[in-house]
Amino acid sequence: MYLFDLGKLPGQQSMLIFHALAQLGIEALVIVSPKIPLVSIGYFQDAAEEVDLQYCRESGIPFMRREVGGGATYLDENQIFYQLIWKKYNPKFPKAIDEIYPWFSQAPVDTYRTFGIEAEFRTVNDIITSTGRKIAGEGGGNIGDCMVFVGGILLDFDYQAMSRILKVPDEKFRDKVYKTMGENLTTMKRELGMIPSREEVISVLKEKFKKIVGKLKPASLNPEILENMRQIEAWMTSEEFLLKKTPRIPGGVKIKEGVEVLYGLHKARGGLIRTTEEISEGKIEGINISGDFTFYPKERLDGLEGSLEKVSLKEEKIIERVETYYEKEGVESPGVESKDFATTILNPVKDAEVD
């Protein structure tokens, strides 16, 4: 396995690199930070609903949608990202998503502990301190014939910037987001009263990962990887990719008697689920599913949407259809169960304002 210790990369390269390596089938550990702030949006999220894209454009903050799950987040040089890429069938690594997260999380957990911060992995994809505060969020999924696992060591964090890039109903809600983040998300600076040397943190992190994945061979970006990154950037920042899961109607709208378009929202243990469904005569005619949950393989989400068409609006029928699809397609969604999808669909947000 290669080691790309890349320091700070310009533009969106800090996020493009793991996509490029996965597409090229290169197994590697990447350690990297962005030179300038950017916004990264989860694959299953609705970009226009989650992030204030207009504010980002006006403020010159680049944004992109990544090909792994998790939530939208503000990235800057005070975060040291670790990105693991390996071939799906490599026998050295776990196969199930619920095994991958705790296995690879041990390296960042041990890194925090080395610096005196008592940390531990918490299902589904967080690292928390002994006081229960989150100090790292992680994501993973499949890209081409590879699996990827990504996360970050938080040296420090700009809570204000994070609360500002999110799309929220009003400023009171934004203030609540800012306050809640401050209470529940921590950093090395907050825990230790200072920011440790970046070089020392990276050195420890690499050693901890070596114990898990084995010997790492130093590597650098070559022309093939850089060209692949340029091609990926053009696609991942295009409106076609960025906005393709956007529900068109963010509320409940009656089209005619017996036909409605409803917007569902439910917080499952594994993340937020959003649905937009067209209902006709008590059955689902069409449905769109998005959110910040993990869903593997990610290409199967469209199939789940298709499998729910013509299903009656009854909890047991929806649960049965989802479980049948999961079993048939070998789908995994840690912390998100069939009942969570039923809850989202059957308890829609009604009477919402339509943009």
Q: What is the pLDDT of residues 86-131, one digit of tens each?
A: 999 999 999 888 899 999 999 999 999 999 999 999 988 899 999 9
Q: Return the structure tokens found at 196.
A: 């440790």
Q: Which residues, at least 6 apart from 90, have a Cβ–Cβ distance to it below 8 Å?
A: 27
Residues 31, 5 contacting (CB under 8 angstroms): yes
- Domain contains 248: no
pLDDT of residue 71: 84
- Per-residue pLDDT, 96: 86
Task: Say whether both 237 and 275 belong to one domain.
Answer: no
Q: Are 133 and 87 in contact (CB under 8 A)?
A: no
Using CA atoms, how far apart are residues 49 and 291, in angstroms rounded to an integer? Answer: 10
Judge if 179 and 286 occupy the same domain.
no
- pLDDT at 261 (0 to 100): 77
User: How many domains is the chain built from?
Assistant: 2
At 354 the pLDDT is 31
Alpha helices in 77-215 (DSSP H): 97-114, 159-165, 171-184, 188-192, 198-213
Q: Report strand pairing: 79-87 vs 28-34.
A: antiparallel
Say yes or no: 230 and 302 in one domain: no
Selected residue with higher pLDDT from 280 and 233:
233
Q: Do 260 and 252 form a contact (C-beta atoms < 8 A)?
A: yes
How far apart CA 104 and CA 84 sit, in angstroms, is: 9
Q: Is residue 33 part of a domain?
A: yes
Cis amide prior to 322 (ω within 30 degrees): no
Would you say residue 354 lies in a domain?
no
Q: What is the DSSP letter of 193?
A: S
pLDDT at res. 20: 98
**Distance separating alpha carbons of residues 33 and 15, to the nearest angstrom:** 9
Domain stop point among 220, 242, 264: 242
* Mean residue pLDDT across the chain: 91
**Cβ atoms within 10 Å, residue 199:** 9
The reported pTM is 0.86
pLDDT-derived band at 255 (thresholds 50, 70, 90) equals very low
CATH number at residue 93: 3.30.930.10
Lowest mean pLDDT among 51-60, 167-176, 250-259, 313-322: 250-259
Tell how strand 259-268 and strand 253-256 pair up: antiparallel
The whole-number average pLDDT for the span 161-187 is: 90
Which residue segment(s) compose the domain that 277 sits in? 253-349
Helix (H) or strand (E) holding 334: none
The DSSP bridge partners found for residue 129 are 119
Phi, psi torsion values for 179, nearest 5 degrees: -65, -45
Give the pLDDT band of residue 306 (cuts 50, 70, 90).
very high
- The sheet with strand 217-218 has its strands ordered as 119-122, 126-129, 134-143, 146-154, 79-87, 28-34, 2-9, 217-218
CATH number of the domain within which 336 lies:
3.30.390.50
Asked whether residue 170 is domain-assigned, the answer is yes
- Asked if residue 28 belongs to a domain, the reply is yes
Higher pLDDT, 247 or 274: 274
| Domain termination residue (choose one: 242, 263, 291) | 242
Residue 25 falls inside a structural domain: yes
pLDDT digits (tens, 9 = 90+) for 119-168: 999 988 899 999 999 999 888 899 999 999 999 999 999 999 999 999 98
Please report whether residue 217 resides in a domain: yes
Question: Do 269 and 196 share a domain, yes or no?
Answer: no
Instruction: Give residue for tokens 């533009």.
Output: 11
- Contacts of 134 by beta carbon, 8 Å cutoff, 6+ apart: 126, 127, 128, 184, 185, 186
